[in-house]
Amino acid sequence: MDEHGQLHITQLLLDWSEGNRSALERLTPLVYGELHRLAHHYMNRERSGHTLQTSALVNEAFVRLVDQKNVKWNNRAHFFAIAAQMMRRILVDYARSHLYAKRGAGAIHVSLDQATLVSNEPSAEVTALDEALTRLESIDPQQARVVELRFFGGLTIKETAEAMGISVDMVKREWSTAKAWLYREMSHPVDGTT
């Protein structure tokens, strides 16, 4: 990543965090390589039995992408939030294309049934979770952010609490109940009330 590319990405991220949706469209392909790097890194560490903190990896990926000198994050929550959102976007995009490649065009809109979940297809699980999370956002934005930080950002309960400025107990509460809600959504996505 040259300096120019880094600046470019930084600007897009800032645009995006200020609500410019088209910035994200242009951002995704630029950071795609980072996903591969991260995944390889993860697997290599995993195989060799090294312990590993996902949040550190995600942060590291993010730090590499973004020109830290020229961007002032409002606070740590802002930093984590952007990093987690970006991871979500990249991972979900990847998962969709993976499923697409596997099953053909008809399966882009994945409606996940119990069987698929049990079949342990990570791409399907990630895609389904993303869809359920989007629905959760509309009814409980704070809870959705907890999930985003935990699941996509890789933060621990404690890190999430720090990043969001809420108590650990609150995070536990949000996380535990979100899991129930999301899992039910993912297992029975079409409940007619939509």
Partner 1 sequence: MERPERWQEAKDILYSALEMEPGPRAYFLDERCGDDLELRKEIESLIAAHSEAGGRLESPAIELMAESVVNRDNDDLIGGLLGNYQVIEMLGGGGMGEVFLARDTRLDRRAAIKLLPDSLTSNNQTKQRFTQEAKAASALNHPNIITIYEIASHNGHDFIAMEYVEGETIRDLLERGRIDTRRAIEFCAQAASGIAAAHEAGIIHRDIKPENLMVTRSSQLKILDFGLAKLVERRPSLGDSHLPTVDYPRSNELVVTVPGTILGTVAYMSPEQAEGRPLDSRTDIFSLGVVFYEMITGKRPFDGKSAIDTLHSIINSEPPPARDLNVNLPIEVEDLLAKSLAKDLSERYQHAGDFELDLRRFKRGLESGSLPSVRNMPHSSVGKNSISPLWWLAPGTVLLGAIVLWAYITSDRMVTSPPATAPSLAQMTLSPLTIDPGFEGEPTFAPDGQTIAYVSDRTGNFEIFLRQISGGPDINLTNNPADDMQPSISPDGKQVAFVSSRSGVSDCLCFFIYGTDQPLMGGAIWVMPALGGSPRKIVETGTFPSWSPDGGSLIFSKGPWYGQSIYKVPSNGGEPQEIALNLKKAAPFIAYPSYSPEGSHILFEAANNIFVVSSNGGDARLVVEGKHPVWSADGSSIFYTNVEAGRNYTLWQAPFSIQEGKLVGEPSPLTVGRGRDTQPAVSRDGKLIAFSALDVSFNLESVLFDAESAKIQDSPRPLTSGSDLIYFFSTPDNAETAVFDSHRGASSFIWKVDETSPSVQLTSDPKFDDYFPQISPDGRTIAFNRHPPDQPEAPDDLWFMEADGANPRLVMEKAGFVGWMPDGRSFTYYSFGDGQLYLYDLQSKSAKQITNEEGVYAKGIPSPDGKWVAFMSIATGNMDIRAVPIEGGESISVVATSRQDFHPVFSPSGKWLYFQLDHKNIYRVPGPAQAWRKSEPEKVTDFPESGLFLENPQISSNGRKLIYSKRRTGGDIWLLTLNK
CB of 20 to partner 1, least distance (A): 23
Nearer to partner 1, 12 or 127 (CB): 127
Token duo for residue 20: 């410019």
Find out whether 8 and 30 touch, Cβ atoms under 8 Å.
yes
* Encoded amino acid at 82, one letter: I
CB of 29 to partner 1, least distance (A): 15
Nearer to partner 1, 26 or 183 (CB): 183
CB of 113 to partner 1, least distance (A): 13
Find out whether 124 and 24 touch, Cβ atoms under 8 Å.
no
φ, ψ at 2 (rounded to 5°): -80, 175
Nearer to partner 1, 10 or 187 (CB): 187
Find out whether 29 and 86 touch, Cβ atoms under 8 Å.
no
CB of 190 to partner 1, least distance (A): 14
Please tell me the total number of residues recorded for the chain in this structure. 194
Coil/strand/helix, residue 50: coil
Token duo for residue 18: 């200020």
Nearer to partner 1, 11 or 187 (CB): 187
